[in-house]
Structure 1
Amino acid sequence: MITKEQFITLIEVTKSSMEYDFLEKNQFVIIDIDMQHSKTYNELPDKIIGQWIIVISTYRWKNFGYTNYSYKTVGFYDKTFLKIDYIPFGFWLLKDIEFWRFNSDIFNQYKPVPVLEHRFKSQLTSKDYNWKGDVSISNFDRFLKQIWDYEIEKKDLAFTL
């Protein structure tokens, strides 16, 4: 297990290798072991009470001379700070989180949208699903509920193809 300080350094190295103009601050979403509850922190707590950590950072981008800001997922990690490729949700794997704009915002993208892939049939994804509602990073439990609702709705899909 790496230390908290090493983990923060790893995040900064990861961000510098990505092609975005990231701001310094990060947000840390820590998902409980029950996979239904979470807490979002502006700073990584000293003690991780949870199973998974999602690191999200704000980046700056320009459009028609205006500076805009949006979120980007930096990575998924387990509670020991090990980088992981996905977070499991039943038959589905959370592979990434994209950020879309809210209806009230023309450019900035802050609405988290899950990118899911079926655990046993990778060609099955959530790509064309119509994610409804205005969920946010600050109320990540609603985001988790949407994933579980999707999992229930699509449970039999893999067995019919």
Structure 2
Amino acid sequence: MMKVNILETDTGRIREDELRDWSQAALNQLDKAYGYKSFRPGQLEAVNTILNDRDLVAVMPTGSGKSVCYQLPAMREGHLALVVSPLRALMRDQVQALQARGVAAALIDSGVTPKQRQSIYAMAHGGGLRILYVAPERLFADDFLFFSQSTRIDLIAVDEAHCVL
């Protein structure tokens, strides 16, 4: 078991709790998926928290490896992660890198046609997608609202602090 401090948002109280320690499985997956032998500071704690189905706010500087914190848990069979990012080039780079590693990933931004969106939604709904990147403005589109209400989304990650409402 791993001891962590948890902030109770309703009371503002910090309490200690124990989480299942997924360290070895996470390290194995990190090596398999990325070829890295160790985590950067804060990554393992974030991954463990997510794998224990706990909410997490991780504020990390640019270049610290935030994406590993949500990508690694999203690689589990039968899970779908939704990543909100306003940076089109970053989304495209992330999706290409994930696909090159054999991870089913897609993105929806203003450059994706309605037909392409429907195909992506169908793939996610059918369990064939692990990670879906979306631009913030897509969150309120009718087709996305229908998709998000009819599909199980296991993890939501906001990859840029200025996307938090």
TM-score by length of 1: 0.30
Q: TM-score, normalised by structure 2?
A: 0.29
Q: Which has the higher helix share?
A: 2
Query: Hey, which of these two has a bigger chunk of strand by percent?
Result: 1
Relative contact order, higher structure (CA 8 A, sep 6+): 2
